[in-house]
Every structure is written in structure tokens, then in C-alpha cells.
Amino acid sequence: MGRLSKPMMGFMLLCCLAVLTEAEYIKYKDPKQPLGARIKDLMKRMTLEEKIGQMVQIERTVATPDVMKQYFIGSVLSGGGSVPAPKASAEAWINAVNEIQKGSLSTRLGIPMIYGIDAVHGHNNVYNATIFPHNVGLGVTRDPQLVKKIGEATALEVRATGIPYVFAPCIAVCRDPRWGRCYESYSEDPRIVQAMTEIIPGLQGELPAKSRKGIPFVAGKQKVAACAKHFVGDGGTTKGIDENNTVISLNGLLSIHMPAYYNSISKGVATVMVSYSSWNGKRMHANGDLVTGFLKNKLKFKGFVISDWQGIDRITSPPHLNYSYSVEAGVGAGIDMIMIPYNFTEFIDDLTYQVKNNIIPMSRIDDAVKRILRVKFVMGIFENPLADFSLVNQLGSKEHRELAREAVRKSLVLLKNGKSADKPLLPLPKKTAKILVAGSHADNLGNQCGGWTITWQGLGGNDLTIGTTILNAVKNTVDPTTQVVYNENPDAEFVKSNKFSFAIVVVGEPTYAEMYGDSFNLSIPEPGPSTINNVCGAVKCVVVVISGRPVVIQPYLAKLDALVAAWLPGTEGQGVADLLFGDFGFSGKLARTWFKTVDQLPMNIGDPHYDPLFPFGFGLTTKPT
């Protein structure tokens, strides 16, 4: 046989190169390919083991690079207070997240993991982050554009630490302030909660004009995937008991608790978290009619549905009583990603067994994985899986703190001003001889921020993060010649003998989160009441209440001259002094009904027995001086 001619050899070489290039070209790795084509290409390459791995979310403390690689884990989270180191810097966070991500990228298909964290009032687990007022205060502002800006700032601070996914916003409609999560709710009125879903385009970016309904959207490296929670009815449980049963008709559920989900989905929210609570006795984590039938099929939600922390364990009572049943019920109901968070091999083993034995159909697994991959592709983490240090200066930036201070000013509600209308106490004069600042919450940054701040339950004291207490804000605001005396809990004799011009008393609730905040009496704990009595009985006083909800205040109302509901204002206490001393005027209106006694609860605007101390929408105004 004769030798090949040179042109023929060249042609064959080109053919070989073409085959090699074809082999190297992987469609799912090409950002120019349509979203559907990328998902389809990657899905057909995946084994059952790799698919189930994508459905697993584990806590960062068990997420070693080896675990990520061996089990193909799809997601990692920081639980409340779970940090790489105490007071960790943005750089330390980035390094920790990237280290875990490298484990995911070393797998056969190199599917990046998605790291999630609670950022419910700013980047609340992270030292030096801007802590915004909790939602209970933001609802008072009735200012969706302000909330959108807070979303934008939060996204930048979260991305500053290398994290692309937040478990926020909470769009619960709290119907009973005895609930320990009431401060995570914008209002008892679903219309205010709907308006505040404007935080979603703040977090994720503005949805492009011709987007298909229900498709998740995240606009690049300065934005984060959001999570509307907790689906659905979490704010309507009996007696406000956390994780309890919401007893309401379908019509009531759809008209009170569901509306904000319509808005969230139309704004392209990437994920939805299921509630621990039940609806008419059926656990939401096992409610296929609502999770699959309503959310996915009727509302056309195309992002992924995530469980709450150990949420499927709690389908049974006690939790984890029959785990294989819980896996079947939760995944079968339509939950796509399971926040496990620790014992992940048990979940993987159980789900694998159930798929191989046709207990859970393969189509259900494929639906879950398609949704998870859709969010990951849309976020751009296949192209940019590792974070860099380009945004670290955004954490706790001056601009974000100014925004938080503005939010504080707009979220305060003036409930009383003067013993009579013609003699208002506020605004206070900056220049006077001597003023008293008193109360357990006057010089306590932790109490001012509330739960979900640095740790899950929050921390009292001033060592948790960077911020301005109300006491320091007062000192910053008054004239240099004005003497500010601070006494946390003075007796009446001390107040009488010191000839104060007036007093500012700051009292309220301790920090709490979730079920630890459930309260049947809603009283301000001691020494709060004693401080009010001792001070306001002896000198003109304004009482500032720091709380996650309305609390019992009627017994003290006649004694005090002015009353301000400051909710949980966060790190920027200067916003409180801005209003007390008249640099800005009060404008906030109650987004919750303020009851007279707890016996009236639940009591919401529109109820036949409506007889509040301060009605929904109430709020006195002042003009800046």
C-alpha cells in the first residue's frame, strides 16, 4: 500500500483535532448555551449518587473538602452564629468558603456548591456588618424603595464575605405578637408585606423585562440568590406558638398568608423555604398539595424549594422518630434541597434506597436537581465559583451605615408626646444643664440589635459587633455644654436630688429568636418597669421601648411624658437620637396593632373585637427643629 499524500495526512490530522476539540467541548460549561440546554446536558451526565448529592445541604462545620468531593454535596450553610472564627474578617470568610468550594470543583463534573446564610437584617452573622432594623421596624416605614436599597446593601456585604445565597426575606404575616418570630414579619397586614417584597430585586437584581414567570433571576457577582420564607402560614399559628398549627380556611390562607409569595415569584425569587408549622394539622414539610400542587404547578415557581433546618426530621413528633418516612414524605411533597444539616449520610442512604426501590420516582429526583442546577446556572457560579477580595470594603461601609440610620429614623413610632397635646416634650432641646439617660437598653448594642445578630439568639452587651448605642448617640448629639448622666437603674431619690432637665429611659425585651421568644405575657422584664416608675415619677421623661413587637405598656402610660416604639433598630442607634432631638421629624405609622392587654390577642385590624391601645396606622408626627 502506497504512502498517504501530504494533503491527505493534513486532512486526517484536522479530523483528529476536530474530534479532540469536540471531546473537550462540554455544553453545560458554555455560558453562551441556553439555560435549558445546559441543564439537560449536565443532567444526562449525572449518576444517581451525584443527583442526590445536589439535594443535600450541610452545615459548614461538617463540610470538609473531602466530604464535598466524596458525597457530591450541593450546598453548605452557616447556621445562626456558625462562623470561621470569632470576629472573623471578610477575608477569613472568603478563604473558608473557597476552601469548601475547591472540594466541590474537584469532583468528576465540577458542579459548584452554593453557600447559604441567614441575612435577615443585614449580614447578621458577621462581625462589623451593618445591622439594619428588623422587619417589624421596616414595615413601619411603608417605604418599598428604602427596603430595596437595604437589599442592595445586604447583597454587597454578603458577597463581600464570598457568600452568594441568603435565607431572606421572611415574608410571614405575624397575626399574633406572642410569636417569637414576630419581629421577622413586616406587618399583620398582608398588603404591607407584599409591598416589602421589593427587597428581593434589591438582593437579586431587577428582573429583565420579558422574563418568563417563575424563572429565578440573580444579576451577577454583586447580587445574591434570595429565599422567600416560610411557606406558608408561619405567622398565623394558634396562640402565636412557634412551629405550631395554623387553623384557617383555604380562603383565609390564600388571602392573608399567600399574597407575598405571588409578588416574590413575579420578582424572580430564586428559592422558597418551607415552614416548620402545620396548616390545619398537616405539616407543611409534608404538604404536597401546597408545595407541589400550588407553589410549583399553579404559581409556576421554577426555582428550588428548600427545607428549614432539620425540617423533615420534624415531620414526626418527636422529631426523627421515623426518618425514612420523613425522607419519603418531605421529598415526595416537593422539597428539592434538604437542610440536613449534620447527619447527611443517613439522608443519602435512605433516599438512595427509596429511589432504587421505586418508593420515590426518579422523576421527582430529576425535578429537584433541575431546579437546583437552574438556580446555580442563573447565578453564574459555574463561571465564577470562587470569590475574590474585590468587595471586602463593602462590609459595614459608611454608606450602608448611613442607610441603616435612615431606616432607623423612618421606623420609629411616636406613640405619646406630652401629658397634654399642647405641651409636647419632643423634640428635646440639645442645650440644657443636665440630662439623665437610664434603662437596661440605653447602653446595650446587643439588646438594640435583637436576635439573629452574631449568634442565633443574639447577645446582650457591647462586645458583639461594631455600632452606636443610644447612650453614645445622645452624647454625640447634645450641645458640648450639656451634662449627660448615665445610670442604668437609678432609685427615685437619685433622680429627685440631681435636678435633671429631663430623662431618656430606654427599656425593653431581652434578645431571643424563634421559639425562645414565644411569650404569653409580653411584659417588659424587670428592672424595666422599676426604672420607668423611679425616673418618670420624679422628672419629665421620654420612654424608648426596644422590642420585637408591641409589649404591655398601658400600666405606665399615664406616668410618662412621651413614648417611642423603636423596635429592634440594629447597630445605628444614632438614628434614635436624630429624632429625639429634632434633627429629623417622626413619621412612622404602626404596621401592627398595639394591644391594651394580652387577653385581647390575637387582635388585628378589621377584627370585630378591635379595641387597641394604639390602632394599626397610628403614629404622631413632629417637625425637625
pLDDT, tens only, 144-177:
999 999 999 999 999 999 999 999 999 999 999 9
Given a contact cutoff of 8 angstroms between Cβ atoms, the answer to whether 231 and 284 are in contact is yes
Stretch 286-296: mean pLDDT: 98
Quick: pLDDT tens for 223-263. Answer: 999 999 999 999 999 999 999 999 999 999 999 999 999 99
Q: Tell me the backbone φ, ψ of residue 271, rounded to 5 degrees.
A: -140, 160
| Beta-carbon-side half-sphere exposure of residue 617 (alpha carbons within 13 Å) | 6
Tell me the pLDDT of the chain averaged across its residues: 96
Angle between helices 362-379 and 323-333 (to 10 degrees): 60
pLDDT, position 24: 75
CB atoms inside a 10 Å sphere around CB 21: 9
Q: Is residue 15 part of a domain?
A: no
Same domain, 425 and 389: no
pLDDT for 313-343, tens place per residue?
999 999 999 999 999 999 999 999 999 999 9
Query: Looking at the domain assignment, is residue 401 inside a domain?
Result: no
Longest dimension (CA), the chain: 119
Q: Is residue 9 part of a domain?
A: no
Same domain, 373 and 464: no
**Which of 354, 380, 374, 416 lies closest to 621 in space, CA to CA?**
416
Q: Which domain holds residue 467?
A: 412-614
d(CA 96, CA 163): 10
Q: Say which amino acid occupies 340.
A: I
Same domain, 420 and 384: no
Q: Average pLDDT of 420-438?
A: 96
Count the domains in the chain.
2
Q: Are residues 386 and 444 in the same domain?
A: no
Read off the pLDDT band of 95 (50, 70, 90).
Answer: very high
Q: How far is CA 40 from the centre of its chain?
A: 33
Instruction: Report which of 290, 281, 219 is spatially closest to residue 257, judged by C-alpha positions.
Output: 290
pLDDT the model gives residue 17:
46
Residue range 217-227: mean pLDDT, rounded: 98
CA distances from 302 to 133, 375, 582 (A): 31, 9, 49
pLDDT value, residue 420: 87
Structural domain ending residue among the three candidates 394, 423, 457:
394
Distances (CA, A) of 497 to 100, 366, 430, 472, 528: 62, 75, 22, 24, 21
Asked about 463 being catalytic, the answer comes back as: no
- The reply to whether 425 and 301 lie within a common domain is no
pLDDT digits (tens, 9 = 90+) for 16-71: 444 444 457 999 999 999 999 999 999 999 999 999 999 999 999 999 999 999 99
The single-letter DSSP state of residue 360 is: S
Q: Where are the alpha helices (DSSP H) in 46-114?
A: 48-54, 65-71, 90-105
Cα–Cα distance, 165 to 226 (Å, whole number):
6
620, part of any domain: no
User: Is 612 a residue whose pLDDT tops 90?
Assistant: yes
Do 275 and 375 lie in one domain? The reply is yes
pLDDT band at 421 (very low <50, low <70, confident <90, very high): confident
Q: Would you say residue 208 lies in a domain?
A: yes
SS3 (DSSP) at 431: coil
Whether residues 384 and 431 fall in one domain:
no
Among 189, 308, 406, 561, the one annotated catalytic? 308
Alpha helix (H) residue ranges in 253-337: 259-266, 288, 323-333
User: Is there a domain that residue 271 lies in?
Assistant: yes
- 15 pLDDT band, cuts 50/70/90, is low
Q: Are residues 257 and 381 in the same domain?
A: yes
Last residue of a domain, one of 394, 420, 447: 394
Tell whether 245 and 372 lie within a shared domain: yes
Q: Give how far Cα 447 sits from Cα of 460, 466, 488, 545, 570, Å.
A: 5, 13, 14, 11, 9
Pair (335, 424) in one structural domain: no
Mean pLDDT in residue range 453-468? 98
Task: Write down the catalytic residue from 152, 176, 514, 561.
Answer: 514
Q: What is the pLDDT of residue 14?
A: 53
Q: CATH number of the domain at 117, please.
A: 3.20.20.300
**Domain for residue 43, yes or no?**
no
Specify whether 188 is catalytic: no
* CA 452/CA 266 separation, integer angstroms: 28
From 327, 362, 394, the end of a domain falls on 394
pLDDT category at 8 given cuts 50, 70, 90 is low
* Category of 342 on φ-ψ map: left (φ > 0), alpha (ψ -120 to 50) or beta: alpha
In percent, how much of the chain has pLDDT > 70?
Answer: 96
Q: How do residues 527-565 score in pLDDT, each as one tens digit?
A: 999 999 999 999 999 999 999 999 999 999 999 999 999
CATH value at residue 551: 3.40.50.1700
Enter the pTM of the model. Answer: 0.96
Q: What is the pLDDT of residue 243?
A: 98
Angle, to 10 degrees, between the axis of helix 144-159 and the axis of helix 398-411? 150
What integer pLDDT is reported at residue 19 of this predicted model? 47
- Within-domain flag for 5: no
**Is residue 241 located within the same domain as residue 170?**
yes
Instruction: Report the pLDDT value the prediction gives residue 11, as an integer from 0 to 100.
Output: 56
Q: Same structural domain for residues 227 and 288?
A: yes
The C-alpha atoms of residue 107 and residue 109 are separated, in whole angstroms, by 6
